[in-house]
Amino acid sequence: MSGNTFGKLFKVTNWGESHGKAVGVVIDGCPPLLELVEEDIQKELDRRKPGTSNITTSRKEEDKVEILSGTLEGKTTGTPISMVIFNKDQKQEAYDEISQLYRPSHADFTYQQKYGIRDPFGGGRSSARMTAGNVAAGAIAKKILTKNFNVEIIAYVKKVKGIEAEIDSNKVSSKEIESNIVRCPDSKSAEKMIKLIEETKEKGDSVGGVIECVVRNMPIGLGEPIFDKLSADLAKAMMSINASKGFEIGSGFAGANLTGSEHNDIFFVEKGNVKTKTNNSGGIQGGISNGMPIIFRVAFKPTATIGKTQQTVDKKISSVEFAGKGRHDPCVLPRAVPIVEAMTAIVLCDHYLRHKAQNGEPNAKAKKF
C-alpha cells in the first residue's frame, strides 16, 4: 500500500492500524539541534486523544508518545525521528459483525475491492486513529516554525450543522478555543453546538461542520509554482484528514459571487511593511505566501458510524441491515482541530525548508528590486 508518506524535505511517514499494537510516525528531514523532548509532543496529542468529554468517543487511550530515535540529550540529531504510540483500549471483538459487511460511507468496501483484504478492526488504516501520528509530527513542525519565524497556527470550530459562530480570525486566541469542549471561541455558539451534539448522540446519529484555521506571522515567499502551490499542498493535507469533504481558502466559494474590483486585494504600505486592505486571497497569491495571514476552512461530514439501522450489503453482495455499535464520535470536529493545525504545520515546515534550501531564510518584509 502506497500513499503513506507526505512532504518532500520534511517527510512524514505514517504507520499502524486502529486496533493493532501501536500507531506511529517516522519523520525524515528534521534539522539537527532542535530542542525536543516527549513533553513537547504530548501536549498536542492530549488535545486529540479520545475519551476527553461526553461529545467524543468513549475509547480510553492515553496516547502516550515515545521517541525511539533521532534525538540525543534532548536535541534532534538530523537523523530520522521515529515515534510510537501504543494502543491500550482495543476491542476487536466489537468488530466481528463488521468483518462480514460493508458499513455505509466507510472505507470497508473500497479497501476490500482494491486490495482483496481489509482490516475490519476499527477500520485499520482508514481509521481516524491514524491521525495521532500526524499530530505528533505536527508538534515537531510547529517547533521548527516557531523557532524560525514565530508562526502561530490557530484552528477552531466555526460551524456545527446549522449553527455558525461569528468569529474575528484576527483576534481569536487559543485560550478562547480551549475554554470549552467543542473548541469554538464564541461561547454562546459553543453552548448551542454542545447541546446539538449531545441531542444528536442520544438519537444515535451524528453531525458535521466546518473548522476554520488562521496562520499568523507568515513570511513572504513560501510555496512553489504550478503543482506545489502552498494552497494546493494545504488542500491536499486537509483532504487527507478523515471525514474531510471540502476545502476553501480566503474568499473561497463566496468569491465566485464577486467582481474583480470587489475581490482584488489592494496593496498598501504600513510602517515599511507591504499589506493588503482585504485578504480575499487568504494570504496566498500565485501559490506563494504574501505575508498576510493564511486563512482557510475545512468541511467535515457527519461521522459515518451511527446507531440507527441502515441498509447495506455484506461480502456476499447480499442486502442486509446494520446499526453501528462501539465507540464513535458523534461529531469529529472538536478532535479534528489539533489535526488541522498539525497538517498545516507539516505543510508550512516542508515549504519553509524547501525555500531555505533554494533561497535562504524567507523575508518578513517585501524586498525592493
Q: What pLDDT does 51 receive?
A: 63
User: 105: which DSSP letter?
Assistant: T
Q: Give the cell for residue 196.
A: 446539538
Query: Residues in the chain with pLDDT < 70?
Result: 1, 51-52, 57-60, 89-94, 326-327
DSSP H or E run through 202: helix 187-202
Extended strands (E) in the chain: 5-6, 11-16, 22-28, 65-69, 71-72, 75-76, 81-86, 101-102, 152-160, 163-164, 209-216, 244-249, 267-270, 273-276, 284-285, 288-289, 294-300, 309-314, 319-323
Contact call for residues 212 and 158 (beta carbons, < 8 A):
yes
CATH of domain 5-359: 3.60.150.10
The predicted-structure confidence for 168-223, as pLDDT tens digits, reads as follows 999 999 999 999 999 999 999 999 999 999 999 999 999 999 999 999 999 999 99
The residue extents of the domains of the chain are 5-359
Q: What pLDDT does 100 receive?
A: 87
Q: What is the DSSP string of 317-360?
A: S-EEEEE--S---S-SHHHHHHHHHHHHHHHHHHHHHHHHHHHS
User: 51: which DSSP letter?
Assistant: S
Query: For the chain, how far is it from start to end, CA to CA, in angstroms?
Result: 48
Q: Give the cell for residue 47.
A: 488535545
Q: What pLDDT does 98 receive?
A: 83
- Rounded to two decimals, the pTM is 0.94
Q: What is the three-class DSSP state of 49?
A: coil
Q: What pLDDT does 130 receive?
A: 93
Q: What pLDDT does 357 receive?
A: 96
Q: What is the three-class DSSP state of 54?
A: coil
